[in-house]
Amino acid sequence: MISKRIEQLGGVFLLPVAIAALAFVLIGAPASWVTLTIAGLSMGMMIFLMASGLSLVFGLMDVLNFGHSAFVSFGAFIAASVLTWSAGWLTSDSIALNVLALMLAIMAAISFGLLAGWFFEVVIIKPVYHDHLRQILITMGALIISEQLILAIWGGTPLSVPRPEFLEGAVIWGDVSIEIYRVFAFLVGAVIYAGLYFLFKRTRIGLLIRAGVENREMVEALGYRINRLFLGVFVLGSALAALGGTMWAGYETLISPALGSEMMIVVFIVVIIGGLGSIEGTLLGALIVGLMGNYVGYLAPKLALASNMLIMMAILMWRPSGLKPAVK
Amino acid sequence: MSLLSLTNMQTQIGEYHVLHDVSFDVSEGGVFVLLGRNGAGKTTTLRSIMNMWTPSKGSVKFRGKDISQMHTSDIARMGVAFVPEDMGIFGGLTVEENLVLATASGSFDPQRLERILELFPALKIFWNKQAMKLSGGQKQMLSVARAIIEPRDLILIDEPTKGLAPAIISGMRDAFAEIAQNTTILLVEQNLPFALSLGRDMAVIDDGHVVHTGSMKAFAEDNELQNTLLGLA
């Protein structure tokens, strides 16, 4: 009876709400809780951007791509370079020039994601379809090579990322301080989620992707080439990862070549928590990881890293396929 | 010319040589039934026709064209539909979405859809429900409806009565009889009364070899042949 009522109220989607409510009690200071919650939601949305493509690629073609986070780090470094190059526009009083510089950085990162994603799928992934061991080896290798490439191009010193002037600072509301960039990152993630939701639920391509995640063979028996669909999803996922890297670079303001490896762990945790092949699941997993990271970082900083692993273990014991996996 | 012609088709799945010599012709119209014991190679034959498992030798000709090396999706676009044994329903999609995916344009022919919903009224009731919530019989109806939502030349159906209640099987038989008036069905079936009531021509497959072909009428009247080929009394 209680579980039915919980299901009616939103089921597993109540989990981030429950975590936030518990954190409210444990933190005790409402102003700090609001700041941490907004930071957590913002971080969650950026992680969602990075992880959504991986989840779909995993769900649709059963391909384990450990190189996915290379798109995140390259997106971050390319965007940082464009922002540095257009520093004059970023510090200008003109919001139009600020926005233009930001858009250039985002477009450069996304364009890289699209092109590199296409190349990566055709050259690296395609030859190892249906072979998990080779997928792991070759994509891990690609991740290492990408890190070395970043070292060769940008050097080993952490790179400072300038932010547009209009996204600097914070809004003070009583005791609550809300960083403008965090709100912006949250909104970008929310808009992308809405776009993906529309794509999946309201378009024929989305219908095909959802069907392909469930049963690739049957989609082909209905007359569709699943490999072409997969290439499209892979390229889209790579571009989203590059966009996520861009947003993350602005959030951190200092990035190092190890960014890809660091984010790979978080992204895989999110995909496993959320369930494979599901956009809703990925969003849910990303928000949980984002919120937990901030709350635990405040309450017990030494446990911050372990908290995501612990929540992943707890969720997998409760739901072995993740919170909201695609139907298989 | 036969609609579908298999000549010395052989299929290997990994190290297993499942089909050794499969040859039969399916003429246009009516129901052609493929009978055989469990594990004889019936499902492999259907999947090989769709190139879900690629035949290693022999030919599969559809309207005279060799399709044995064609991509599954191209075979489907030539007008061959497949209803697999596990029904192949997309459980996370609604009944409507399952049917939409089987149309080339994304929209239904209203008259055709109306007739299909008359044949399978449960689909109308659960139109906007996720297909995973349907019963086994309803899923089978959806799987067949998906195969006929647009005109097809040939429908391959794998054991549609498996696990279904007798009342549903009876309704399914009437539906197949009507569908077979306008298209050709290649039916794999273990339910002999069901197969006998629908089939015009038939073949028996055993251990990867076609061991008998002929008319269903002659087979139905020959108890000794049934006993020899299928182990029935």
CA distance B13 to chain A (A): 15
Task: Name all domains of chain A by residue range, CATH numbers in brackets.
Answer: 30-318 (1.10.3470)
Model pLDDT, residue A302: 87
| Phi, psi dihedrals of residue B213, rounded to the nearest 5° | -135, 155
Checking if the pLDDT of A3 tops 80, the result is no
Contacts of B76 in chain A (CB under 8 A): 220-223
CA–CA distance, B42 with B189 (Å, rounded to integer): 9
Model pLDDT, residue B229: 82
Which residue is closest to A220 within chain B, CA to CA? B73
CB atoms near residue A274 (< 10 Å): 30
Segment A63-80 mean pLDDT: 93
CA–CA distance, A189 with A46 (Å, rounded to integer): 6
CA–CA distance, A180 with A187 (Å, rounded to integer): 11
CA–CA distance, B40 with B34 (Å, rounded to integer): 11
- Provide the chain B residues 117-136 that lie in CB contact (below 8 A) with chain A: 130, 132
Which residue is closest to A200 within chain B, CA to CA? B93
ipTM: 0.92
Which residue is closest to B156 within chain A, CA to CA? A221
Model pLDDT, residue B15: 84
Q: Which CATH number fits domain B4-93+155-230: 3.30.930.10, 3.40.50.880, 2.10.260.10, 3.40.50.300?
A: 3.40.50.300
Task: Label each residue of B88-150 as H, E or C.
Answer: CCCCCCEHHHHHHHCCCCCCCCHHHHHHHHHHCHHHHHCCCCEHHHCCHHHHHHHHHHHHHCC
Confidence of residue A101 (pLDDT cuts 50, 70, 90): very high
Residues 6+ apart with CB under 8 A from B153: B3, B28, B62, B63, B78, B79, B80, B183, B184
Q: For chain B, list residues with pLDDT below 50.
A: 233
Which residue is closest to A327 within chain B, CA to CA? B92
3-state DSSP call for residue B159? coil
* Candidates A207, A225, A226; nearest CB to B101: A207
Confidence of residue A327 (pLDDT cuts 50, 70, 90): low
Q: What is the separation of C-alpha A148 from the centre of its chain, rounded to a whole number of angstroms?
A: 23
Model pLDDT, residue B233: 42
Model pLDDT, residue B232: 55
CA–CA distance, A15 with A20 (Å, rounded to integer): 9
Residues 6+ apart with CB under 8 A from B103: B149, B150
> Does residue B97 belong to the interface with chain A, where contact is any CB pair within 8 Å?
yes
Segment A275-297 mean pLDDT: 93
Which residue is closest to A214 within chain B, CA to CA? B90
What percentage of chain A carries pLDDT values higher than 70?
99
- Provide the chain B residues 29-88 that lie in CB contact (below 8 A) with chain A: 50, 52, 71-73, 76-77, 81-82, 84, 88
**What's the pLDDT tens digit per position in A11-39?**
888 999 999 999 999 999 999 999 999 99
Segment A184-205 mean pLDDT: 94
Give me the half-sphere count of Cα atoms (radius 13 Å) on the Cβ side of residue B34.
Answer: 29
CA–CA distance, A211 with A198 (Å, rounded to integer): 16
Buried b (16+ CB within 10 A) or exposed e, A115-127: ebbbebbeebbee
Asked if the Cβ–Cβ distance from B77 to A214 is below 8 Å, we say no
Asked if the Cβ–Cβ distance from B76 to A222 is below 8 Å, we say yes
* Candidates B71, B72, B93; nearest CB to A211: B93
Asked if the Cβ–Cβ distance from A207 to B93 is below 8 Å, we say yes
CA–CA distance, A282 with A275 (Å, rounded to integer): 7
- Provide the chain B residues 176-215 that lie in CB contact (below 8 A) with chain A: none
Per the structure block, which two tokens stand in for A253?
């303001």
* Candidates B76, B91, B104; nearest CB to A327: B91
